[in-house]
Amino acid sequence: MIMVMMALVSYPGSSSAEALKASGMTISYAVQPGDTLFSISKKYYLTGNYEQVAKANGLNSKTGLKAGAVLKLKNPLVMDYYEVQQGDTLFAITKRYFNRSNYMNVLMTYNGISDPNTELKIGMTLRIPLRSGEGRHHVVKGDTMYSLSARYFKAQDYQKAVAQTNGVGTASSLIQAGQQLQIPNPYYMVASSTAAVSAAVSAKLSIDIDITRNKLYVKSGETVKKTFDIASGKKPGLTPTGSFEIMTKIENPWYSAKGIPGGDPKNPLGSRWLGLSVPNTQGTKYGIHGTNAPSSIGTNASTGCIRMLNEDVEWLYDMVPNGTKVKIHK
């Protein structure tokens, strides 16, 4: 069961950087039996980056969760999941989550306003959460929170968001009882670097690794955008094959096996680590990383990871977010 509440945000007049950092929606999630940080991150952020959930809740990312504990999920990509009931329509489901009254509360919280009668001042600039991205409104005489919610809240926009998220049309005949719908968080800002933006980017780019040719391909759809030489496992079977995703990203990673700090010229992991979601490894055992042995690139030389030149892995690190799909094959 999930309870939705809005996060407190900066008052109008704060810097744009502070406003960006503070804005958005926070939901409370009650941990269910069998939940893990990874499964929660996959469900609500559509990415394996479970460390963001752990950090936001002051948890050790390696410890388990206790059923009944309540976690705060900042800016989840998916706000809730809803099982369609007999007679439901997309309009009715949308109205359940998004309506003008809720939008007015969002608008107030988004701008740090608790009393709409005394805190809405002529001349102030309000930040307007929209499904298409954040807008701005300069308050003029006669404006009220209700009038602003009526002006900016368009039910059809949110209905369209629910429909698009679930790949259905707007006709009620296209949803069926028992179907589970994702309820998207519509309050992401276009310019923010939230998990939603990361997920959107990762949907455009993917990584294909051919360990027979020792090549890594960055693809957009079926189009190869960039090709890199790599090093893979020195023996058959060392490098796992299958479909994974990037679940951890670390700059200047430590080589814990020998206690070599990040940035040390002796560090065999090089300057970047992109951990892969190989089962039961939490993104710490197999990854795409740099190297201190550039002559090994193009050969079978690793103990299972994918090696790249440092300048190449740094480019990759900057271009692909957590959640990016990675396919490794022979």
Tokens of 161: 């968001």
Q: How far is CA 28 from the centre of its chain?
A: 17
Q: Who contacts 267 (Cβ-Cβ below 8 Å, separation ≥6)?
A: 253, 254, 255, 260, 261, 292
Give CA–CA dist 308/214, Å, rounded. Answer: 10
* List 137, 138, 289, 329, catalytic entry: 289
E strands along the chain, which residues? 2-6, 25-30, 70-74, 78-83, 125-128, 135-138, 180-184, 205-210, 215-220, 223-229, 232-233, 242-251, 272-276, 287-289, 300-302, 306-307, 325-329
Active-site residue flag, 329: no
Neighbours of 173 (CB within 10 A): 8
Please identify which residue in the block is written with the tokens 């990509």: 77
Active-site residue flag, 289: yes
Structural contact between residues 6 and 111, judged by C-beta atoms closer than 8 angstroms: no
Phi, psi of 38 (to 5 degrees): -65, -45
* List 137, 138, 305, 329, catalytic entry: 305
Give CA–CA dist 298/184, Å, rounded. Answer: 43
Structural contact between residues 29 and 10, judged by C-beta atoms closer than 8 angstroms: no
Active site residues: 289, 305
